[in-house]
């Protein structure tokens, strides 16, 4: 059924008639219940608590069930947004979850970490009426959580097995989304993961307080239940080669190996002890659980911790530092708060937790003590100049204005580059000067016909949902290519 | 997978494991390393592969007990499984014919040197291996080294075996004797630093295999970064071997000490049992 047929169903009509559009838009947007800042900033419990049934129903009523739902255009995986929201309004939460799963492999994850305010919610009709958008993300999380907590987890419809073997390189959001889509189409999918844990950035990157690992594990178990096989500790290109896979009968390969390589700024003192990448810091704390007493992996716990950068990873790092006991946890960002790429919600949460924001500041040097541990950073004061290519006003140094700040730990979160491990090991791939794998924009097919790619290995550093969108696109295209 | 086929003590705190890892055994080359993790709460630690038997599907690892994680590994026995084992990682050693090569190794650096010695010899080089340790009991793999080397020079700090002196004394002796075209060094960072300083004076190209702190070992974290020729490099993906004369060993030594306090605290909680049965 297409959208207008779905929308014409009796139950949808009845719901629309039950409440006038004016009444719907008069309902204020729900506020996400969350843990109190002074409590949550000392533990790793999830900050957002999720909506109650009453809250979700009320919020679902706000959706006008538009004839032309522009929200759907904003979703990289094309979730049938009005349909699942109306199913919530009707009280049919399990069906709502099923609707989500028809197009998204990881709804409980997306409901937590997608930047909805820049995607679906940014296109909501309410915004045109100067009202707040329907909280699509909260509702997505509600439906996915409801289903999981009910114990009645439904599996998507699976086509009969066609026996064709497909390999996936990397078990992050791109790979998982691709694997789910291919399994639904009847393929025999095996996912190869380099680390000991399945989940990629969802496990090593995003902290527990924003996305609990147990949530990720359940989504992975759902994929297992539809036949996806996972092999950890295996690096395609190193442990096994593409030729090995071909010999083993694999007919298609999807590379979603992510943007592993952290960038540094190449400034004086950056290799001092206590200066590290956000990837290292978050991997220690998230993947290795280094903050727990029984974990063998150590992590430095600074008292004065500076995080360099203004993205979501920077927010995750600074809030982690606070939770690990930092007295001063600071964001150092070279532009102003307005240009920060982090989600507004993350910035808000960080501020509530007592994070300091030192904007229009850029580190230019670090100093250390005799044992090499960082003790101070020199910050250059910046002003905003002309807009650059990204449209953001570019920061320029204010001559002569610098300041030394005491720090004993610095987390550098200024972006990542594609992980070279896989592209370097596969012959024939076209790789851009940024190290990304070059693919056809629509099909995600690489210069080697049997290899498709998506996520950060193609984009260089984007979001979970864009990676998932790539996986979905690649699955459709690979399926067509294999059927030709 | 990852089953320990055999375990042998080289000394009180140095253990040789033969581990079932058929895919790694097939794919690895001299110079490659693996990441291992023991137990579900274990740490990921890098270990250079000392040898492999692709027919048997095994690799050889030589581990020195230095901290909690290596101690947990050394406590495993024949038949146990290593929780996680991934590789081969890093770039393989560049092997070619250059003439006379001195392979200078100390401590457990000897184990990863063995496949390099064998490969250099197979490429037609004249290979002189310098084995160095504090004392006689800590000299390992001498026989295997003799098998692949044209000559083996043993150096002990206390003179209990071979010549008395440091690894650098051994190299100096060789430099005085003949023209050396390449030096390869693996061992503690401070040892490699002094080997590098010596060979630099004599303009002998030198390769050092670095063993830094790593978390993932796949380029993701940057914990392993070192300065090489003024540029930051990642040992895990750009190395582990670099032009020793370009490596900033002082910085590397400083970074290796970054977690020392935390490691010592952890050791207090984890009793290390040294192996004391019989002789070695």
Per the domain annotation, does A159 fall within a domain?
no
User: Residue B273 has what pLDDT?
Assistant: 57
Per the domain annotation, does B186 fall within a domain?
yes
A chain contacts of residue B86, beta-carbon cutoff 8 Å: 194-196, 233-235, 239
B chain contacts of residue A272, beta-carbon cutoff 8 Å: 254
For chain B, positions 242-271, list CB contacts with chain A under 8 A.
251, 254-255, 257-259, 262-263, 266
Helix (H) or strand (E) holding A108: helix A107-113
User: Residue A223 has what pLDDT?
Assistant: 94
pLDDT for A419-438, tens place per residue? 887 888 788 899 998 889 99
Q: Are A319 and A456 found together in one domain?
A: no
Residue A447 has pLDDT above 50, yes or no: yes
Q: Are A368 and A465 found together in one domain?
A: no
User: Residue B186 has what pLDDT?
Assistant: 95
Q: Are B104 and B85 found together in one domain?
A: no
A chain contacts of residue B258, beta-carbon cutoff 8 Å: 273-274, 300, 372-373
Both tokens of residue B24? 């790694």
CATH number (domain holding residue B145)? 3.40.50.80
pLDDT for B109-161, tens place per residue? 899 999 999 999 999 999 999 999 999 988 989 999 999 999 999 999 999 99
Per the domain annotation, does A431 fall within a domain?
yes
In this prediction, residues B82-97 reach a mean pLDDT of 95
HSE of A144, CA atoms in CB hemisphere, 13 A: 24
Mean pLDDT, chain A, whole residue set: 94
Q: Are A285 and A399 found together in one domain?
A: yes
User: Of A100, A118, A150, which one is at a domain's C-terminal end?
Assistant: A150
Q: Are B65 and B170 found together in one domain?
A: no
Q: Are A345 and A229 found together in one domain?
A: no
User: Residue A346 has what pLDDT?
Assistant: 94
pLDDT for A57-92, tens place per residue? 999 999 999 999 999 999 988 999 999 999 999 999
When pLDDT is cut at 50, 70 and 90, the band that residue A156 belongs to is confident
Q: Are B230 and B185 found together in one domain?
A: yes
Identify the domain containing residue A99 by its residue range. Answer: 3-150
User: Of A95, A115, A150, which one is at a domain's C-terminal end?
Assistant: A150
pLDDT for B168-206, tens place per residue? 999 999 999 989 999 999 999 999 999 999 999 999 999
Q: Are A272 and A358 found together in one domain?
A: yes
When pLDDT is cut at 50, 70 and 90, the band that residue A418 belongs to is confident
Residue A333 has pLDDT above 80, yes or no: yes
Q: Are B157 and B194 found together in one domain?
A: yes
Distance from CA of B91 to the nearest CA of A (A): 10
Per the domain annotation, does A373 fall within a domain?
yes
Using DSSP, state whether A104 is helix, strand or coil. coil
With pLDDT > 70 as the criterion, what percentage of chain A qualifies? Answer: 100
Distance from CA of B184 to the nearest CA of A (A): 24
User: Residue B277 has what pLDDT?
Assistant: 46
Domain count of chain A? 3
Strands of A188-192's sheet in order across = A229-231, A188-192, A165-169, A250-255, A451-453
In this prediction, residues A105-116 reach a mean pLDDT of 91
B chain contacts of residue A194, beta-carbon cutoff 8 Å: 86, 216, 218
Per the domain annotation, does B280 fall within a domain?
no
Tell me how far CA of residue A46 lies from CA of A212, A342, A390, B5, in angstroms.
7, 18, 33, 44
Identify the domain containing residue B72 by its residue range. Answer: 2-89
When pLDDT is cut at 50, 70 and 90, the band that residue B275 belongs to is low
User: Residue A417 has what pLDDT?
Assistant: 85
Helix (H) or strand (E) holding A140: helix A136-150
pTM for the predicted model, two decimal places: 0.93
Q: Are A275 and A245 found together in one domain?
A: no
User: Residue A427 has what pLDDT?
Assistant: 83
Q: Are A239 and A282 found together in one domain?
A: no
Residues 6+ apart with CB under 8 A from B261: none
Cβ neighbours of B55 (radius 10 Å): 9
CATH number (domain holding residue A473)? 3.50.50.60
Distance CA A328, CA A425 (A): 43
User: Residue A289 has what pLDDT?
Assistant: 94
Per the domain annotation, does A157 fall within a domain?
no
User: Residue A480 has what pLDDT?
Assistant: 96
Are B40 and B84 spatial neighbours (Cβ–Cβ below 8 Å)? no
Q: Are B40 and B152 found together in one domain?
A: no
Domain count of chain B? 2
Q: Are A9 and A131 found together in one domain?
A: yes
Q: Are A106 and A35 found together in one domain?
A: yes
When pLDDT is cut at 50, 70 and 90, the band that residue B278 belongs to is very low
Mean pLDDT, chain B, whole residue set: 92
CATH number (domain holding residue B11)? 2.40.30.10
Per the domain annotation, does B270 fall within a domain?
no
CB-nearest partner of A276 from B24, B39, B223? B223
Distance CA A236, CA A192 (A): 7
| Environment class of B234 (CB within 10 Å of its CB; exposed 0-12, middle 13-18, buried 19+) | buried
pLDDT for A274-330, tens place per residue? 999 999 999 999 999 999 999 999 999 999 999 999 999 999 999 999 999 999 999
pLDDT for A182-220, tens place per residue? 999 999 999 999 999 999 999 999 999 999 999 999 999
When pLDDT is cut at 50, 70 and 90, the band that residue A170 belongs to is very high
User: Of B44, B65, B89, which one is at a domain's C-terminal end?
Assistant: B89
Residue B253 has pLDDT above 80, yes or no: yes
Positive or negative, the Cα torsion across A322, A325, A327, A328? negative
Using DSSP, state whether A19 is helix, strand or coil. coil
With pLDDT > 90 as the criterion, what percentage of chain A qualifies? Answer: 86
Q: Are A369 and A439 found together in one domain?
A: no
Distance from CA of A235 to the nearest CA of B (A): 7
With pLDDT > 90 as the criterion, what percentage of chain B qualifies? Answer: 83
Cβ neighbours of B44 (radius 10 Å): 24
User: Of B41, B65, B89, which one is at a domain's C-terminal end?
Assistant: B89
CA-nearest residue to A300 within chain B is B259
Residue A355 has pLDDT above 70, yes or no: yes
Distance from CA of A2 to the nearest CA of B (A): 43
User: Residue B227 has what pLDDT?
Assistant: 96
B88 close contact with A: CB closer than 8 A: yes
Tell me how far CA of residue B272 lies from CA of A294, B6, B71, in angstroms.
17, 21, 7
When pLDDT is cut at 50, 70 and 90, the band that residue A260 belongs to is confident
Distance CA A170, CA A199 (A): 8
User: Residue B280 has what pLDDT?
Assistant: 40
Residue B272 has pLDDT above 60, yes or no: no
Are A415 and A438 spatial neighbours (Cβ–Cβ below 8 Å)? no
Where are the alpha helices (H) located in B95-218, listed in sequence order?
Answer: 110-122, 142-148, 167-177, 189-201
In this prediction, residues B237-250 reach a mean pLDDT of 96
Residue A378 has pLDDT above 60, yes or no: yes
Among A172, A195, A313, A435, most B C-beta atoms within 10 A, so best to mutate, is A195
Per the domain annotation, does A85 fall within a domain?
yes
Pick from A255-264, B36-45, B159-168: least confident? A255-264
Go through A16-41 and write b for each residue having 16 or more CB atoms within 10 A of its CB, e for each that does not: beeeeeeebbeeebbebebbeeeebb
Per the domain annotation, does A101 fall within a domain?
yes
Pick from A150-159, A193-202, A378-387, B240-249: least confident? A150-159
Q: Are B82 and B107 found together in one domain?
A: no
């Amino acid at each position: 059924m297409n959208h207008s047929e779905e929308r014409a169903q009796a139950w949808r009509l009845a719901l629309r008639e039950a409440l006038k559009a004016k009444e719907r838009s008069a309902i204020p947007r729900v506020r996400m219940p969350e843990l109190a800042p002074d409590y949550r900033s000392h533990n790793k419990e999830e900050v957002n608590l999720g909506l109650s049934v009453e809250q979700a129903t009320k919020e679902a009523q706000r959706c006008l069930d538009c004839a032309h739902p522009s929200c759907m255009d904003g979703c990289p995986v094309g979730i049938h947004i009005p349909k699942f929201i109306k199913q919530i309004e009707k009280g049919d939460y399990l069906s709502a979850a099923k609707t989500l799963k028809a197009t998204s492999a990881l709804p409980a994850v997306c409901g937590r970490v997608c930047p909805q305010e820049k995607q679906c919610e940014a296109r909501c009709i309410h915004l045109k009426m100067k009202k707040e958008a329907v909280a699509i993300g909260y509702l997505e999380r509600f439906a996915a959580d409801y289903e999981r907590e009910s114990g009645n987890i439904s599996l998507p419809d699976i086509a009969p097995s066609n026996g064709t073997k497909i390999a996936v390189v990397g078990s992050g959001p791109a790979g998982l989304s691709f694997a789910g889509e291919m399994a639904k189409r009847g393929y025999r999918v095996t996912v190869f993961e380099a680390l000991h844990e399945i989940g990629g950035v969802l496990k090593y990157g995003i902290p527990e307080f924003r996305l609990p690992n147990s949530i990720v594990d359940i989504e992975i178990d759902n994929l297992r239940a539809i036949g996806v096989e996972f092999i950890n500790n295996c690096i395609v290109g190193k442990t096994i080669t593409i030729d090995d896979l071909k010999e083993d009968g694999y007919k298609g390969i999807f590379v979603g190996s992510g943007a592993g390589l952290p960038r540094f700024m190449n400034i004086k003192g950056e290799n001092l002890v206590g200066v590290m990448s956000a990837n290292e810091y978050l991997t220690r704390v998230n993947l290795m659980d280094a903050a727990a007493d029984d974990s063998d992996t150590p992590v430095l716990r600074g008292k004065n911790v500076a995080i360099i950068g203004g993205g979501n990873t920077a927010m995750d790092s600074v809030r982690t530092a606070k939770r690990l006991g930092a007295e001063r946890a600071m964001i150092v960002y070279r532009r102003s708060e307005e240009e920060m790429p982090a989600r507004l919600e993350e910035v808000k949460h960080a501020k509530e937790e007592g994070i300091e924001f030192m904007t229009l500041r850029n580190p230019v040097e670090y100093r250390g003590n005799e044992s090499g541990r960082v003790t101070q950073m020199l910050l250059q004061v910046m002003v905003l100049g002309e807009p650059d290519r990204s449209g953001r006003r570019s920061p320029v140094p204010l001559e002569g204005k610098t300041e030394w700040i005491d720090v004993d730990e610095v987390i550098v979160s200024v972006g990542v580059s594609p992980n070279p491990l896989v592209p370097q090991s596969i012959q024939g791939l076209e790789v851009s000067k940024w190290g990304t794998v070059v693919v056809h924009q629509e099909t995600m097919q690489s210069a080697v016909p049997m290899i498709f790619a998506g996520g950060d290995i193609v984009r260089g550093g984007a979001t979970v949902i864009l990676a998932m969108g790539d996986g979905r696109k690649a699955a459709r295209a690979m399926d067509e290519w294999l059927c030709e | 997978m990852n089953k320990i086929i055999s375990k042998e003590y080289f000394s009180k705190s140095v253990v040789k494991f033969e581990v079932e890892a058929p895919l790694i055994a097939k794919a690895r080359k001299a110079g490659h390393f693996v990441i291992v993790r023991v137990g579900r709460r274990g740490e990921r630690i890098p270990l250079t592969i000392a040898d492999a038997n692709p027919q048997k599907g095994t690799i050889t690892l030589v581990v020195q007990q230095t901290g909690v994680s290596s101690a947990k590994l050394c406590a495993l026995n024949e038949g146990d499984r290593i929780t996680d084992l991934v590789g081969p990682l890093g770039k393989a050693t560049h092997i070619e014919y250059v003439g006379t090569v001195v392979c200078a190794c100390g401590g457990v650096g000897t184990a990863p040197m063995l496949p390099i010695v064998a490969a250099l010899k197979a490429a037609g080089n004249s290979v002189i291996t310098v084995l160095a340790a504090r004392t006689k009991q800590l000299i390992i793999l001498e026989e295997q080294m003799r098998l692949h080397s044209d000559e083996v020079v043993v150096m002990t700090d206390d003179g209990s075996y071979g010549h008395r002196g440091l690894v650098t004394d051994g190299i100096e002796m060789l430099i005085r004797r003949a023209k050396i075209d390449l030096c390869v060094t693996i061992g503690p960072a401070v040892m490699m630093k002094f080997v590098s300083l010596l060979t630099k004076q004599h303009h002998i190209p030198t390769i050092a295999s670095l063993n830094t702190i790593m978390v993932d070992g796949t380029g993701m974290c940057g914990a392993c970064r070192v300065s090489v020729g003024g540029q930051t490099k990642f040992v895990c993906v750009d190395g582990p071997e670099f032009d020793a004369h370009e490596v900033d060993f002082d910085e590397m030594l400083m970074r290796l000490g970054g977690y020392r306090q935390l490691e010592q605290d952890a050791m207090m909680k984890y009793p290390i049992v040294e192996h004391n049965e019989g002789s070695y």
